[in-house]
Amino acid sequence: MLSTRLPAQVAQLVEQWTENPFSPPDASKAATKFWKRIDRSGGPNACWPWIAKLNEAGYPSHRKHRDVLALKLGRPIAPGMHTLHSCDNPRCCNPAHLSEGTVHDNNDDRCARGRSIRGERHPKAKLTEAQAAQIKFKEFPPAWKVAKKYGVHRGTVTQIWLGYIWRHLAADRSAP
């Protein structure tokens, strides 16, 4: 029997899981109700969106994609692990698009796909890419004078110089 970390409904689904992960398990009311909330009409390679309630972040309520991954793995998701989507669709519940990974894996994936909000795309950014590059490569101490010039805190200037923020800027010294 599976760990008590999985809801009884999911444990029942796992027990009924067939060798073909793209066809729903047979029979029970819980399984039928669960699979009715996933649109599998696109076929085995398409995203299977959760069509029932979503949470405020746009993910299936009660983390149903995690339940599907547990079905795929045949075991509960390991403690501290997360469900990663290869399709970048938070609603997707297709087992072929889901894998288990760490927060670090998920962050690396986000950055590799250009989905991270950094630099001037960040809603709280006070500097443009050009201004940050100017500070990083062309401005020199004291930090308080540079900060005053750009309308930011001196700690922000120091963090840019040390590479704690705006670290994605090219190390090209020919910046504006």
- For the stretch 140-164, pLDDT in tens is 889 999 999 999 999 999 999 998 8
Let me know whether 21 and 69 are in one domain: yes
- Alpha-carbon distances, residue 103 vs 9, 68, 106, 118 (angstroms): 27, 19, 5, 18
Q: Check residue 105 and give its pLDDT.
A: 92
Which is higher by pLDDT, 132 or 168? 132
Task: Tell me whether residue 102 is in a domain.
Answer: yes
13 shares its domain with 44: yes
Distance, in Å, from the CA atom of 134 to the CA atom of 38, rounded to the nearest integer, reads: 50
143 assigned to some structural domain: yes
Q: What is the pLDDT of residues 69-94, one digit of tens each?
A: 888 888 888 889 998 988 888 888 88
Residue 59 domain boundaries: 8-112
pLDDT band at 8 (very low <50, low <70, confident <90, very high): low
Note whether residue 170 is domain-resident.
no
- Evaluate if residue 99 carries a pLDDT over 50: yes
Q: Is residue 3 part of a domain?
A: no
The β-bridge partners of 50 are: 38
- Please indicate whether residue 100 or residue 12 has the higher confidence score (pLDDT): 100
User: 143 and 68 in one domain?
Assistant: no
Q: What's the pTM value of the predicted model, to 2 decimals?
A: 0.57
Given a cut of 80, whether residue 136 has pLDDT beyond it is: yes
For the chain, the domain total comes to 2
Nearest alpha-carbon partner for 14 in 95, 104, 86, 99: 95
CA distance 122 to 104: 20
Q: Are 31 and 16 within one domain?
A: yes
